[in-house]
Amino acid sequence: MIYYRLSDTIFVPTQMLSWAGRSSVNWFLGSHCLDTMRWLLRDEVVRVYTVSRSHVLRGMGINTADFYLSTVEFAGGAQALLENCWIMPESSPSLVDFKLEVVGEREAFHFDGSPHRLVHLTDDGPKCPDTFISPRVHGRSVGFAVESIRYFADCVLAGETPTAGFDDGRKVTEIILGMERSVRTGEPVDL
């Protein structure tokens, strides 16, 4: 089984992304979660059931959902619970709340990418500089967000095929469309 939470503070849809009302946290973050789970399991999603609510952001004039909760079933029998939220408080110590647990027959994997290991204490209160998503080291942006973009650009420039290809993107798109259909119908969707 997999439990996967990837959420952002409300800063992302209200201040960082001018186009948040034309997308959703499902497309913005859920797509990465689905891609990761397909890669980890080397398996395909066969069924999804998703619920969502739209209250906070719509109340602020941003026409997008606050969160999605999804049950994702894989062909080989794995089950996943996926949480994606865009209304975490801005007071969170991290812009991103990222937790992943994978429990198998003989092993388990627990990852918590949310807590910052660096806290800068000032008279104005604690500050938690980004040490994970895209920190700057010697004036250069690094971290998993930047490195994935850099890898793709390097592949394009070198004429090489990236690890994740068109078919992976198409399959994740089909899954998200199934999740959106599940939200509309209130029923599980077979893929």
Residue ranges covered by each domain of the chain: 2-115+165-186
Q: What is the pTM of this model?
A: 0.85
Q: Give the separation between CA 98 and CA 78, rounded to whole angstroms.
A: 20
pLDDT-based confidence at residue 115 (cuts at 50, 70, 90) = low
Q: What is the pLDDT of residue 91?
A: 86
Output 184 or 126, whichever has higher pLDDT: 184
Class level of CATH domain 2-115+165-186? alpha beta
Q: Does 170 have pLDDT greater than 70? A: yes
**Helix 31-41 and helix 166-185, axial crossing angle in degrees, nearest 10:** 120
pLDDT score, position 149: 83
Rounded CA-CA distance 66/84 in Å is 9
Do 96 and 113 contact (CB within 8 A), yes or no? yes
Q: How far apart are CA 182 and CA 159, in angstroms?
A: 39
- Convert the pLDDT of each residue in 9-35 to its tens digit: 999 999 999 999 999 999 999 999 999
pLDDT at residue 119, rounded to an integer = 72
Q: Tell me, what's the pLDDT at 117?
A: 64
Distances (CA, A) of 44 to 61, 82, 136, 162, 189: 36, 15, 36, 20, 14
**Confidence band for 131, pLDDT divided at 50, 70 and 90:** low
Q: What pLDDT does 116 receive?
A: 62
What pLDDT is stored for residue 57 in this prediction? 98
Q: Among 17, 175, 11, 157, which residue's Cα sits nearest to residue 82?
A: 175
What tens digit of pLDDT does each residue of 134-169 get? 677 788 877 777 888 888 899 999 999 888 888 999
pLDDT in tens, 42-60: 999 999 999 999 999 999 9
Cα–Cα dist 142/92, whole Å: 22
* Closest to 33 (Cα-Cα) out of 88, 83, 67, 74: 83
Pairing of strands 45-53, 108-112: unpaired
Question: For 84, phi and psi rounded to 5 degrees?
Answer: -135, 125
Residue 106's pLDDT is what? 92
